[in-house]
Amino acid sequence: EAQLVESGGGLMQPGGSLRLSCAGSGFTVSSYYMTWVRQAPGKGLEWVSLLYGGGSTHYADSVKGRFTISRDNSKNTVFLQMNSLRVEDTAVYYCARSLPPELYFDSWGQGTLVAVSS
Amino acid sequence: DIQMTQSPSSVSASVGDRVTITCRASQSVSRYLAWYQQKPGEAPRLLIYGAFSLQRGVPSRFSGGESGTGFTLTITSLEPEDFATYYCQQAFKFPLTFGQGTKVDLK
C-alpha cells in the first residue's frame, strides 16, 4: 500500500526558509507526478506545486520564485524548499501523488504544519 | 486561472438523505474534474475522478455527474461517516484549482 509521510514543518519568522520532505513507500515516487497542496487554518485547499516524473515543474503564482520542488530518487523522497516565507504561507502542507498522465491525487500524506509569524 | 465554484457552501442533512453538491468551472474543463472528501484533521481522500469514475474502494453511494449547471457529486443515502467537507478540483489546466468546499453536517 502506498504511503506518504511529510516532515520538516515548524514555526518560522517572515523571510525565513524551510525545507519540507515527503517520503514515499510502497511505490516509486519518480514514476508518479508528485504535488504539494496546502490548507491555511480553517480554509480550503490550495494547490502549490507539481513535479513530473521527468523533472519538469509547475508552481502556483503565489509561490513562484520562492518555492522549489525537487526529488531524491535514492531516498524516494520529494522536497519543497520554501524561501522568503510570508505570513500568508502559514498552512498545513500535504504531499500527494497522481498516476500519469492524470492530475487526480489518489494518495496523500498526513500533512505538516508551517507557521510563519513574527 | 480557472475558478471553481461549489454550491451550496454548506448543507445540513440526516442519515439516509440524498445529497447533491454542484461544482461550476469558470471555463470548460472538459471532464477533468475530481471530487475529494476531507474530515477534520485528516488529509483529503479522492472519491471521483474524470467527473464520473469512482475511485477504487469508495462506496457506490457516491457518484459523479454532469448537469446544465456544472458537475455534481451525489451521495444517495448518507451514512454517519459521510459528514465531512467535499471539494472539487479541475485537472484540465495549470494552475490546478479547487472549489471552496461544501460542508455536509448533521441536521
Query: Nearest CA of chain A to the CA of B41: how many Å?
Result: 9
Query: Nearest CA of chain A to the CA of B9: how many Å?
Result: 11
Q: Which of B44, B94, B97 sits opposite A108 (nearest CB)?
A: B44
Better-scored residue on pLDDT, B69 or A87: A87
Taking CA–CA distances from A64, the nearest residue in chain B reads B95
Mean pLDDT of A102-117: 98
Tell me, yes or no, if A5 comes closer than 8 A to chain B by beta carbon. Answer: no
Residues in chain A with CB shorter than 8 Å from the CB of B97 are: 47
Contact criterion met (CB < 8 Å) for B91 and A47:
no
Question: How confident is the model at residue B68, as a pLDDT?
Answer: 83
Mean pLDDT of B3-25: 98
Supply the mean pLDDT for chain A: 97
Q: What does DSSP assign to residue B107? A: -
Taking CA–CA distances from B33, the nearest residue in chain A reads A104
Question: How confident is the model at residue A27, as a pLDDT?
Answer: 98
Contact criterion met (CB < 8 Å) for A45 and B43:
no
Residues in chain A with CB shorter than 8 Å from the CB of B99 are: 44
- How does pLDDT run across B26-79, given as a tens digit for each residue? 999 999 999 999 999 999 999 999 999 999 999 999 999 998 889 999 999 999
- How does pLDDT run across A43-66, given as a tens digit for each residue? 999 999 999 999 999 999 999 999
CB proximity list for B60: less than 8 A, separation 6 or greater: B54
Question: How confident is the model at residue B63, as a pLDDT?
Answer: 98
CB proximity list for A33: less than 8 A, separation 6 or greater: A50, A51, A52, A53, A97, A98, A99, A100, A103
Mean pLDDT of A67-89: 98
Question: How confident is the model at residue A93, as a pLDDT?
Answer: 98
Tell me, yes or no, if A111 comes closer than 8 A to chain B by beta carbon. Answer: yes
How many C-beta atoms lie closer than 10 Å to residue B89's C-beta? 25
Question: How confident is the model at residue B49, as a pLDDT?
Answer: 98
Task: Determine if the peptide bond prior to A101 is cis (ω within 30°).
Answer: yes
Tell me, yes or no, if A110 comes closer than 8 A to chain B by beta carbon. Answer: yes
How many C-beta atoms lie closer than 10 Å to residue A74's C-beta? 6
Taking CA–CA distances from A35, the nearest residue in chain B reads B96
Mean pLDDT of B5-27: 97
Mean pLDDT of A72-90: 98
Mean pLDDT of A19-25: 98
Cα–Cα dist B98/B1, whole Å: 11
Query: Nearest CA of chain A to the CA of B88: how many Å?
Result: 10
Choose, out of B2, B35, B96, the residue to mutate when testing the contact with A (most A CBs < 10 Å).
B96
